[in-house]
Amino acid sequence: MSERIADRRHDPLLPNAWIVARREYVERVRSRLFVVSTLVLVVLAVLVAFAPIFVKAIDSGTTTRVAVAASDEKLAERAIAIMEGVLNAQAGGRGSDAAKPYAFVPSPSRAHAIDDVSAARVDAALVAQRTASGAIDFTFYTGEGIGPDRAQLVGVGTLAVAILDWTSSNTVVGREFTLPTLDVIAAGGPTAGGAPITNAEFTGRRVVGIVFVVLIFLLLVVYGMWVAAGVVAEKTSRVMELIVAAGSARQLLVGKVVGIGLAGFTQYACVLAPALLALVLQDQIATVIFGQADASISLSLAALTPGLLGAYALYVVLGFVLYGCIYAAAGSLVSRPEDLQTISLPLSLIAVAGYMVALLSLSGGLPSVTRFASFVPFWSPFVMTTRLSVSRVEPRELLVSFGLLVATIGLAIALATRAYAAGVLLYGQRPGLRAVLHTIR
Amino acid sequence: MSLVLDGLHKRFASVTALDGLSFEVSGGQVFGFLGANGAGKTTTMRILLGVLRADRGRVSLDGRDHAGLPRRTWGYLPEERGLYPRMTVMDQLVFFAGLYGVPRDEARRSAADWLSRFRVPEYADRQADTLSKGNQQKVQFLAAILHDPQVLLLDEPFTGLDPVNVALLREVFLELRSQGKTIIFSTHQMETVETLCESVAIVDRGRVVVGGNLRDVKRSLGRQVVKLSLNGDHRLAWLDGVAGTRVIRRGVEQSEIELDTGVEPGVVLRAAVAAGADVRHFEIADPSLEQIFIDHVGRPIDPPLQGPAAADRAAAGIVA
């Protein structure tokens, strides 16, 4: 019993879409709800950004067990003694009751030490290999439980080992001091695009991936629901009758999605800026809290490359346009706010599915499923961004994913405009699937 | 200027909203569009606006198909009142005028002028949800006219207004008419139509049952009405002896008596005098618009629907 708006005038999109967008944006960001929710989110984001410091504070009471293997037994004993002395010096100074941050245990061979890490009998393994020139090469194999900051401190310890080894042997050999090398390798471990990466970088990539997928989910679903709620509010207040006479369905739909999208991005920026600042400054903050020697948080942000950020921004914008249009159409089909959850539930479930697959991709599970999902337009904003964060994505894969997403957006705008045009005049009845399909036809 | 609606048909599933509706409105006229709830008035207005498309039929303004006309040709006050509740009056007026292509500064100036004209300049910076319904309605009316449309389509513009604002709105109607605007409005207040309109169309079940110049419409009935005031007699018992007459409105101060075609009004006066009645007022008049409505539609005009009920009917395309 509904009828689509007869849009035969072919009104140009601008300026009306922009006028609608401006109204939506201004009204949204001026509202008390927006200001309060932004402040709450800023506080939460900064707390999350400081999470590594909190973790470090908790972690400071634990002991990292490191197996030590060396090319000769004497070197192994010396390395253990020096590392104990250097890395546990601060704990020793605090008294015997203080937990030592490191415990070094000898291991008969490199293979044995690595096995111990893989079996989680120790947290890490340090292998010292004397070269032909007499210098020492170190390899640090990290397990699941070890934080990147401790790996860095082990690096400091290896330098002390090299210096003391040189001073003790220099009188005989007369060689020049050579800085020791230290390779940090995740035992069994983390890779990016098939290349091994350090635990710190892997952690950083996962953190970036998680942050991306959570932020995209919030933007698409929360702000998408804002769009739908905005349409329902216009129907509820009956102002829709005035609006549909003044602008075309396409102008109104696009304006609403753009305006609310910009308000969402504004909130996004307000939340991200202090959170990023907190991330950047956390080493300095850690210095204040933990003291200079034990300050490094070393959450690697190396994964935040310009290319990844660009792809992320594009997925956010395109994803929001796709979801926003469909949410607007869904909102137009109901006239009571309490019906909104019901009609938008299928779309929200699709988004949740994408979110779950993206989390799966972060843990490396079911690679064929995550790869397929990264091409599905409703899921690619979630899954492809996490794939980009933690694994290798071929350029052509990215192009196909974007292409499919853009094509789907074109189709979604056309269908959503038709549904919106019919739906905004539909009052008093909750439409079934048949009615929805009829309005789109 | 001439607005022509020619043979409009519109169905919503099994409901026929318009069934060959046709009428013509000359430029610069105030035109009364009358009908019971569900007669097809709102559907007609939505088709004129381009919000709905007719299944058949044609609408033209000065010979041009209305689909090719810019949106700002029309100003629309819907039956369902509504504004953005948290937006100030001035911001809403500027917003709606902007959608019709009016620059912000010009819209702001014009809105301020009209608010003063409506004696509510202090409302400019108030949120809509702080205004009374009547004042919200005035703001909506301003939203309909701020872009200076050629044709105004007003659905029940007087409903919900107090007598002072009804009088104010009537003045504005006449002022706009004098500027050459065409005003088409629906209402359930017949006396307002009789006061303001040159032409009317009465629509029933999606078609015009009578329309044209108001005087011609009234005389088309072929019957006359006598308005009679008598001192101390409102029962008019003596009228039973006068053939071809019946009381259509009985009042203490004045009664209205309808005469069948061919009955001479003077017989009523003579019968009253013969019965010894003290006649204070005797007037020969055309039938009221309400009587014409009842005569053609078969029942009195309904009060306007309000709120969700009206919206539900709108959804079905059967709003009056």
Average pLDDT over residues B154-179: 90
Q: Is the predicted pLDDT of residue A381 greater than 90, yes or no?
A: yes
**Cβ–Cβ under 8 Å, residues A239 and A252:** no
Does B78 contact A11 at a Cβ distance shorter than 8 Å?
Answer: no
Q: Which residues contact B127 (CB under 8 A, 6 or more apart)?
A: B85, B86, B87, B88, B89
Q: In Å, how far are A404, A406, B60 from A411, measured between CA atoms?
A: 11, 9, 34
- Shortest CA gap B67–chain A (Å): 6
> What backbone torsions phi and psi does residue A14 show, to the nearest 5 degrees?
-105, 150
For the segment A315-350, what is each residue's pLDDT rounded down to a tens digit? 999 999 999 999 999 898 887 888 888 888 888 899
**Chain B hits for A23, Cβ within 8 Å:** 87, 91, 95
Indicate the pLDDT class of residue A421, thresholds 50, 70 and 90: confident
Apex B14 CA angle, B8 and B16, nearest 5: 25
pLDDT attached to residue B320: 34
Interface of B with A in 52-111 (CB under 8 A): 52-53, 67-68, 70-71, 74, 76, 78, 80-87, 91, 95-96, 98-100
B71 contacts: CB under 8 Å, gap ≥ 6: A9, A11, A245, A246, A247, B50, B99, B100
Please list, in sequence order, all residues whose beta carbon lies within 8 angstroms of the beta carbon of residue A388, skipping any fewer than 6 positions away.
A308, A311, A312, A398
Confirm if B37 and B313 have CB atoms less than 8 A apart: yes
Mean pLDDT computed over every residue of chain B? 87
Q: Which residues contact A310 (CB under 8 A, 6 or more apart)?
A: none
Give the nearest chain A residue to B73 (CA atoms): A246
CA distance B39 to B32: 14
Looking at residue A301, its pLDDT comes to: 58
| pLDDT score of B305 more than 70 | no
Contacts of B99 in chain A (CB under 8 A): 16, 19-20, 243, 246-247
A8 touches chain B (CB under 8 A): yes
Beta bridge partners of A183: A139
Where is average pLDDT lowest: A28-42, A353-367, B263-277?
A353-367
pLDDT of residue A321: 94
Q: Could you give all domains of chain A from N- to C-terminal order, each with its CATH number? A: 2-55+199-440 (no CATH), 62-186 (3.40.190)
Chain B contacts of A6, Cβ < 8 Å? 47, 50-53, 67
For residue A244, what are the CA distances in angstroms to A241, B72, B110, B148, B317? 6, 13, 23, 18, 16
- pLDDT at residue B311 greater than cutoff 50: no
Chain-chain contact of B78 with A425 (C-beta, under 8 angstroms): no
Of B52, B308, B311, the CB nearest to A3: B52
User: Residue A428 is nearest to which of B78, B98, B308, comparing CB atoms?
Assistant: B308
Cross-chain Cβ contact B308/A427 below 8 Å: yes
Tokens coding A433: 């699937």
For position A59, what pLDDT does the model report?
61
Q: How far apart are CA A138 and CA A158, in angstroms?
A: 7
Long-range contacts of A163-166 (CB under 8 A, 24+ apart): A164/A78, A164/A82, A165/A75, A165/A78, A165/A136
**Banded pLDDT at B316 (limits 50, 70, 90):** very low
Which residues from chain B sit within 8 angstroms of residue A428, using beta carbons? 308, 311-312, 315
Q: Do B99 and A7 touch (CB under 8 A)?
A: no
Judge whether B15 is closer than 8 Å to chain A, CB to CB: yes
Average pLDDT, chain A: 81
- Helix (H) / strand (E) element for A301: namely none
How far apart are the C-alpha atoms of B109 and A279, rounded to whole Å? 50
Task: Tell me whether residues A427 and B86 touch, CB distance under 8 A.
Answer: no
Q: Which two tokens stand for residue A101?
A: 């941050």
- Per-residue pLDDT of A212-268, as tens digits, reads 788 888 888 889 999 999 999 888 888 888 898 889 889 999 999 999 999 999 998
CB contact under 8 A, B82 and A240: yes
Cα distance between residue B163 and residue B168, in whole Å = 9
- 3-class state of residue A441 by DSSP: coil
Q: Which one of B71, B80, B315 has the shortest CB-CB distance to A238?
A: B80
φ and ψ at B26, to 5 degrees?
Answer: -75, 155
Angle at A144 between CA A139 and CA A150, to 5 degrees: 55
Q: For B119-143, what is each residue's pLDDT tens digit?
A: 889 999 999 999 988 899 999 999 9
B312 with A242: Cβ contact below 8 A: no
**pLDDT band at residue B280 using 50, 70 and 90 as cut-offs:** very high
Instruction: Identify all chain A residues contacting B96, using CB atoms and an 8 Å cutoff.
Output: 242, 246
> Are B28 and B1 within 8 A, CB to CB?
yes
Handedness of CA B50, B54, B60, B64 (dihedral sign): positive
* Cβ count within 10 A of residue A290: 18
| CB-based contact, A335 to chain B, within 8 Å | yes
Residue B26 clears pLDDT 60, i.e. is over it: yes
Query: Is the model more confident about A123 or about A302?
Result: A123
Prediction pTM value: 0.74
The answer to whether A3 contacts B96, with C-beta atoms less than 8 Å apart, is no
Please report which confidence band the pLDDT of residue B116 belongs to, taking 50, 70 and 90 as the band edges: very high
pLDDT > 50? residue B166 = yes
Size of interface A-B (CB pairs under 8 A): 102
- pLDDT over 90 at A206, yes or no: no
Residue A19 touches chain B, beta carbons under 8 Å: yes
What backbone torsions phi and psi does residue B162 show, to the nearest 5 degrees?
Answer: -80, 165
pLDDT in tens, B232-242: 777 888 888 89
Cβ–Cβ below 8 Å for A5 and B51:
yes
How much is the average pLDDT of A89-107? 68
Look at strands B245-249 and B74-77 and give their pairing: unpaired
Residues of A in contact with B49 (CB under 8 A): 245
Which ipTM was obtained for this model? 0.80
A341 contacts chain B (CB < 8 A): no
With cut-offs at 50, 70 and 90, classify the pLDDT of residue A126: very high
For residue B238, what is the DSSP state? G
- pLDDT > 60? residue A189: no
> Residue A295 gets which letter from DSSP?
-
Chain A residues 187-246 within an 8 A CB cutoff of chain B = 234, 237-246
Inspect the interface and report whether the beta carbons of A8 and B50 lie closer than 8 Å: yes
Instruction: State the Cα–Cα distance between residues B178 and A204, nearest whole angstrom.
Output: 74
- Cβ burial of A284 (10 Å; 0-12, 13-18, 19+) is exposed
In the block, tokens 């290349």 appear at A195
Is residue B179's pLDDT more than 90?
A: yes
Determine phi and psi for A325, rounding to 5 degrees: -60, -45
The bridge status of strand B56-61 relative to strand B245-249 is: unpaired
Contact A31/B99, CB-based, under 8 Å? no
**Alpha-carbon distance A166 to A178, whole Å?**
9
For residue B82, give the nearest of A242, A425, A426 by CB distance.
A242
At A437 the pLDDT is: 66
Q: In this structure, is the dihedral angle defined by the CA atoms of residues A93, A98, A102 and A107, taken in order, positive or negative?
A: positive
Task: Tell if the CB–CB gap between B99 and A247 is shorter than 8 Å.
Answer: yes
Q: Which of A26, A241, A339 to mutate to test the interface with B (most CBs of B within 10 A)?
A: A241
Q: How is residue A238 annotated by DSSP?
A: T
Provide the shortest C-alpha distance from residue B9 to chain A (in Å): 14
Q: Looking at the predicted structure, is the pLDDT value of residue A72 above 90?
A: no
For strands A181-186 and A195-196, give the pairing.
Answer: unpaired
Residue B10's closest chain A neighbor by CA? A3
pLDDT of residue B58: 93
pLDDT at B33: 92
CB A9 within 8 A of CB A241: no
Which residue is associated with the tokens 């017949």? B190
Radius of gyration from C-alpha coordinates of chain A:
29
Comparison of pLDDT for B12 and B181, the residue scoring more = B181
Q: Distance between CA atoms of B233 and B249, rounded to whole angstroms?
A: 14
Average pLDDT estimate for A109-118: 88
Q: Is the pLDDT confidence value at B318 over 90?
A: no
B10 pLDDT more than 90: yes
With an 8 Å Cβ cutoff, are A6 and B51 in contact? yes
| pLDDT computed for residue A299 by the predictor | 54
Report yes or no: A136 and A162 within 8 Å, Cβ to Cβ.
yes
As to burial, measured by CB atoms within 10 angstroms (0-12 exposed, 13-18 middle, 19+ buried), residue B179 is exposed
**Residue in chain A nearest B50 by alpha carbon:** A6
Q: Which two tokens stand for residue B46?
A: 């939505």
What ranges in A380-432 are assigned the alpha helix state H? 380-390, 395-423
